[in-house]
Amino acid sequence: MEPIRYVSTRGAQAPLAFKDAVMTGLARDGGLLIPDRIPDVSAQLDEWQDLDYPELAFEIIRLFTDDLPDARLKELIAAAYRTFAHPDVCPVRKVGHLHILELFHGPTLAFKDVALQFLGRLFEEILEERGGRLNILAATSGDTGSAAICGVRGQERIHIFVMHPHGRVSALQERQMTSVLDANVFNLAVKGSFDDCQLIMKTLFSDLPFKDAHALGTVNSVNWARVLSQIVYYFYAAFRVREETGAAQVQFAVPTGNFGDILAGWYAKQMGLPIRRLILATNENDILARFFNTGVYAKGQVVPTVNPSMDIQVASNFERWLYYKVGQDPKEVARLMTRFALEGRMQIPRDADGRVDLEIVAGASDTQRTLSAIKRYHEKHGYLLDPHSAAGVYVAEQYNELDEPMICLSTAHPAKFPDAIRDATDQDLARHPALDALKKAPTRCETLENNAEAVKAYLAARAR
């Protein structure tokens, strides 16, 4: 069988091998890179059932690359997941009638570590092999930044520039980023929203002479390797819960803002993992929930909430799903995305039963419901949810009418959001030694105006 190649959702990028796709990040035509086919692994499920997390990651990731030797891929994966505090890497816990997939046992206590501990090592491997240099430009709504910095800090061949929305991430999320003082790390507080940061990033990547001259790369979930790494934990969790319950199928509830996390589950389902359905959960910034319930994808005003990593109105990974929805027609994707960029709105026809996607249902939580879920699960089950995971749990409860087990993704450690936990429980419960140690650490950060030229000038003066 021919190896998988990576093509753009907009059709004007020459197919790429895996390593080149990783280094390219955003496609040169402004689209997102996707595999030219999705492998069917239905026949492998039984033999994968008892693999540990690194072994399973190897089996899945190797399907999508032919230019990284198996032995070296195993070493990179093993090194990435040795940094996790739990022996299972991503353990599953039974909490009441739900199963909680804990994705926060990595070094920065958020699900982004699962992908970025691997991606950081992958970048280092490719740059060493090619004698190259890389300037990573990233936008973060909270957790991506610290996980990306942790993955590449101190690396000789990489400089990383991380934009976050000034004053719109939690104090601990900000300190996790800005307390890293390595010479190759640059934190930028942009006077705008996360969507503004994301637009600046895409603007600079679309400036091809600038991108080429400064060897720009990305760790955001527009990078295919991020989504690929996240596919693994859907398989791992499904295997654990099916083993425990004997269920033929499972459901997943996913709190999401940028659509990358739930998209990984969608790919897992297409690969043959027996997922009955995916339940998408947003907060008040509900562009995705509205879309999957109405077919209308329309920007609103970003509202600051207790779950800041979901305070997003333009989901960067939506374009990958859209490509499949319109019959893998890159011209139609380009037309729709151009219209959305101009008008802030697009509409997709719904299926006969009124739904946009038969595999995804969606709902939204709000601050009151999120805090209530944190309080209920702590009082009833002695389990502390962070506000993002609590939004997912609340929406999961609205859809828990089927017999299949419900697996809720827990995307961050509650200690990252002490104010929300205190508001929910009236107690100071959200603590973690790694975060406590940051409170008096020195920090370094630059505040920039909300425009691409300011970021471009800053990066050009400091790029490696």
* pLDDT tens-digit series, residues 407-457: 999 999 999 999 999 999 999 998 999 999 998 899 999 999 999 999 999
| Residues with a known catalytic role | 112
DSSP symbol at 196: H
DSSP symbol at 100: E
Q: What span, in angstroms and rounded, lies between the C-alpha atoms of 444 and 179?
A: 6
**What are the extents of the domains in the chain?**
92-109+225-432
Q: What span, in angstroms and rounded, lies between the C-alpha atoms of 120 and 81?
A: 12
CATH architecture of 92-109+225-432: 3-Layer(aba) Sandwich (3.40)
Q: What span, in angstroms and rounded, lies between the C-alpha atoms of 190 and 300?
A: 20
Q: What is the pLDDT of residue 250?
A: 98
Nearby residues of 5 by Cβ (< 8 Å), 6 or more positions away: 15, 16, 17, 35, 36
Q: What is the pLDDT of residue 143?
A: 82
Cα radius of gyration rounded to whole Å, the chain: 21
Q: What is the pLDDT of residues 123-135, one digit of tens each?
A: 999 999 999 999 9
The residue assigned the tokens 């699962």 is 114
Cα torsion through 74, 75, 76, 77, rounded to 10: 50
CA 409 to chain centre: 12
**At residue 329, what is the residue type?**
D
Do residues 136 and 101 lie in contact, with contact meaning Cβ atoms separated by under 8 Å?
A: no
Q: Which region among 49-63, 338-352, 446-460 has the lowest average model confidence (pLDDT)?
A: 338-352
Q: What is the pLDDT of residues 377-412, one digit of tens each?
A: 999 999 999 999 999 999 999 998 889 999 999 999
Q: How far is the CA of 359 from the CAs of 32, 118, 277, in angstroms?
A: 22, 29, 5
**pLDDT band for position 30 (cuts 50, 70, 90):** very high
DSSP symbol at 16: B
Q: What span, in angstroms and rounded, lies between the C-alpha atoms of 249 and 273?
A: 8
Q: What is the pLDDT of residue 354?
A: 74
Q: What is the pLDDT of residue 185?
A: 97
